[in-house]
Structure 1
Amino acid sequence: MTVHTWKAEDIAKKVINREDLFILDVRNEDAFADWKIEGHNFSYMNVPYFDLLDGVEEILKDIPEDKEVLVVCAKEGSSIMVAEMLSDEGRDAAYLEGGMKSWSSYLEPIKVSDLTNGGELYQFVRLGKGCLSYMVISEGEAAVIDAVRFADVYTSFADKKGVTITHVFDTHLHADHISGGRDIAEATGATYHLPPKDAEEVIFEYEPLTDETHVTIGASNIDVNALYSPGHTIGSTSFVIDNQYLLTGDILFIDSIGRPDLAGLAEDWVGDLRETLYTRYRDLAEDLIVLPAHFMIIEELNEDGTVAKRLGDLFAENHGLNIEDEAEFRSMVTDNLPPQPNAYEQIRHVNMGKLSPDHEEQTEMEIGPNRCAVR
């Protein structure tokens, strides 16, 4: 039998198309329990590689013959060997090129919608990390919002679309992933915007992002309006785009709300979080479509692979938006915080410009799921 090589892009298509897949994950049990490839119709077996050194005969009965089988490990080496063992036993198998490191890095651009007068809005879905970033395009210009560190993905996409990136925004100082905002701005000559209340320790120049920020992309007037919305960080800022879409950063998600503690100030910021969610957002039109900067569970993906939902529906369905008692809300937020993201303090310092890790160090910092939400 043949051992096939699949790229992260191939797996992403299977996730978005809701295809069946059986994954044999040969990482250690704790690594698998913490973070795995999620799919709507995926099934799993976790057997550490070291338990398979004598062969795969004992697990063959548990591996289906009517589904595609993918072997996964951290970097690919172990999964190649196990896939070859399965092949020697007469089974078709594939391995993920680059392992979980490649899965963590892959971005799938998906068109969200056409905008007024020929504009377009794209969501870049980082399935392996739960990060969501955006590109607004209009008449030859583009703006990028909450970019992850793979700047070339955005610049290449802009080149493919024949547009020039003129503005780059971060809704806040990120703590769970390294921002690509400054690198994109440097590569394209675009203006980089950051909320000043999150930028007190940064050591680079930026354009302050405030309630007064109003940027027009292209001649077709696709407006990007800033809305101060603290709570996840003290500077967190949302965007209303084309009067249709609300980009909430890490304040509001589809199935949860943002955590206020990644700078160690949960008790100080929980009141700001409630003010944003229960007052500032309540003043907005309920027909706005919420586009967050992260998703937590695969069920948040829509049929087309996007993560988006009407604000009015979230007011009705999202538990974090329906706690009337302020003390109960405060307790819910501060008592249900998940573990801190991997290397979050170092990541914050990278995003401040204080650290300059190499590619491998950046990869290690970001390994694992995002943890930006209250449980």
Structure 2
Amino acid sequence: MNTATAQGLQVMTAQDVAKMVMNNEELFILDVRNESDFNDWKIEGESIEIINIPYFDLLDGVDPALSKIPESKKVLVVCAKEGSSKFVGEQIVEAGRANVFYLQGGMKTWSEHLEPVKVGDLKAGGELYQFVRIGKGCLSYMIISNGEAAVIDTVRMTSVFDDFAKSHQAKIKHTMDTHLHADHISGGKQLADRVGATYWLPPKDAEEVTFLYNKLEEGQDITVGNTTVKIHPIYSPGHTIGSTSFIVDDRYLLTGDILFVESIGRPDLAGKAEDWVGDLRQTLYDRFAKLSMDLEVLPAHFGKVSELGEQGKVSARLGDLFKQNPGLQIHDEQEFRRTVTENLPPQPNAYQEIRQTNMGKMKPTEDEQQEMEIGPNRCAVHDK
């Protein structure tokens, strides 16, 4: 973290910042992006203090910022890609301030960083890992058992999963998407093709896809490594018509975008909120209510840093969610319908294009994919 430029400005990577957020370390951030971009999406954390002064307000000097920057904390200057933050950071250093950093790669890099967190051990040997995409709110999973691995809800930075599996002496045999994603580009098919794995997708979400896939349907067992480590798909529509959850090792419930720690999935990203709201209610209040309340819920997204637990893990006991999650307390059906069709945040950035990409109908460049994914995830009803 202490690599310095000739001017004394230091570099902080997205991984450095992620670890500080997860460990609740103090950090002061000066974000120099436009006000609208800042208001839409920013770095957040329990011990993060952040202000926004647009770059163009600092072109004639950093005096407007100096009085607001504490001398006792590390200061991180952030912009979209890196250049503006270096310029501003160097001026702050020249003004006599120490412990000044810029974010390497800017918010684009922050959006893409994945931090692996161990969820737990599996009964017959092996481990389950959660990959926290802290700048985007996406959560992916890897099950490792007896030299084999499966990746669930893979994001497009697929080399992270490939490298992680190799470092654990495992070969990726399966990649699976719980549903057709609308807020980020899936890397499941790409990773499967590259490593020779099987790609699984719920068929009800795959009616328009242009590529081959294996049908992910309720009642199947997908074995990884030791035969006692099984993944049981559970059909759980509502966020999409094909949404499918997994029970892993009779202990973990991977809920995709149906159920989160502090909210529930929205049913409108294919334009069918009125059609799917009944499915969403049945999944949450009927199907999930019949499962063991001791299952550990592992969602595909989080909306707020308050959902990050120990070491950054995002999880909760199912029984606790039925007591505390606002989306599971709406017992009147008409009130539930109103809540999940009217009480919705803005839709994700470029979500229609992302859906088209995940169907194989669009082939955006790497730069275009980065741009499509910029901003927060908005897959939940209550995340505003």
Q: TM-score with structure 2 length normalisation?
A: 0.97
Alpha-carbon shift at residue 58 of structure 1 (Å): 2.9
Alpha-carbon shift at residue 303 of structure 1 (Å): 2.1
Q: Is residue 80 of structure 1 aligned with residue 103 of structure 2? A: no
Distance 1:111 1:289 in 2: 14
Q: Is residue 271 of structure 1 aligned with residue 278 of structure 2? A: yes
Q: Is residue 291 of structure 1 aligned with residue 298 of structure 2? A: yes
Distance 2:154 2:321 in 1: 25
Alpha-carbon shift at residue 324 of structure 1 (Å): 1.1
Q: From 39, 48, 53, give the equivalent of 1:47.
A: 53
Distance 1:187 1:221 in 2: 27
Q: Is residue 365 of structure 1 aligned with residue 372 of structure 2? A: yes
Equivalent residue for 2:168?
A: 161
Alpha-carbon shift at residue 212 of structure 1 (Å): 2.1
Equivalent residue for 1:23?
A: 29
Question: Which segments of 5 or more consecutive residues in structure 1 lack a partner in the other structure?
Answer: none
Alpha-carbon shift at residue 167 of structure 1 (Å): 0.7
Q: Is residue 13 of structure 1 aligned with residue 23 of structure 2? A: no
CA RMSD in angstroms comes to 0.7
Equivalent residue for 2:200?
A: 193
Runs ≥4 in structure 1, deviation > 4 angstroms?
Answer: none
Letter in 1 for 2:286: T
CA contact (8 A) 1:138 1:220 kept: no
Equivalent residue for 2:117?
A: 110
Equivalent residue for 1:235?
A: 242
Q: Is residue 56 of structure 1 aligned with residue 62 of structure 2? A: yes
Distance 1:73 1:210 in 2: 44
Equivalent residue for 2:96?
A: 90
Alpha-carbon shift at residue 151 of structure 1 (Å): 0.8
Alpha-carbon shift at residue 220 of structure 1 (Å): 5.0
After superposition, residues 175-254 of structure 1 pair within 5 angstroms as: 175-219=182-226, 221-254=228-261
CA contact (8 A) 2:124 2:226 kept: no
CA deviation digits over 1:96-137, x for unaligned, max 9? 010000000000011110111221000000000000000000
Q: Secondary structure of the residue that 1:117 maps to in structure 2?
A: coil
Alpha-carbon shift at residue 77 of structure 1 (Å): 0.4
Equivalent residue for 2:3?
A: none
Letter in 2 for 1:275: Q
Q: From 259, 266, 270, give the equivalent of 2:266.
A: 259
Question: Which segments of 5 or more consecutive residues in structure 2 lack a partner in the other structure?
Answer: 1-6
Alpha-carbon shift at residue 3 of structure 1 (Å): 0.4
Alpha-carbon shift at residue 219 of structure 1 (Å): 2.1
Q: Secondary structure of the residue that 1:187 maps to in structure 2?
A: helix
Equivalent residue for 1:145?
A: 152
Distance 1:69 1:167 in 2: 42
Equivalent residue for 2:316?
A: 309
Q: Secondary structure of the residue that 2:124 maps to in structure 1?
A: helix
Letter in 1 for 2:120: S
Distance 1:49 1:123 in 2: 36
CA contact (8 A) 1:26 1:78 kept: yes
CA contact (8 A) 1:254 1:314 kept: yes
Equivalent residue for 1:352?
A: 359
Q: TM-score with structure 1 length normalisation?
A: 0.99
Q: Secondary structure of the residue that 1:148 maps to in structure 2?
A: coil
Distance 1:369 1:152 in 2: 22
Percent identity among equivalent residues? 63
Letter in 2 for 1:45: I
CA contact (8 A) 1:119 1:220 kept: no
Letter in 2 for 1:21: L
Distance 1:343 1:293 in 2: 19
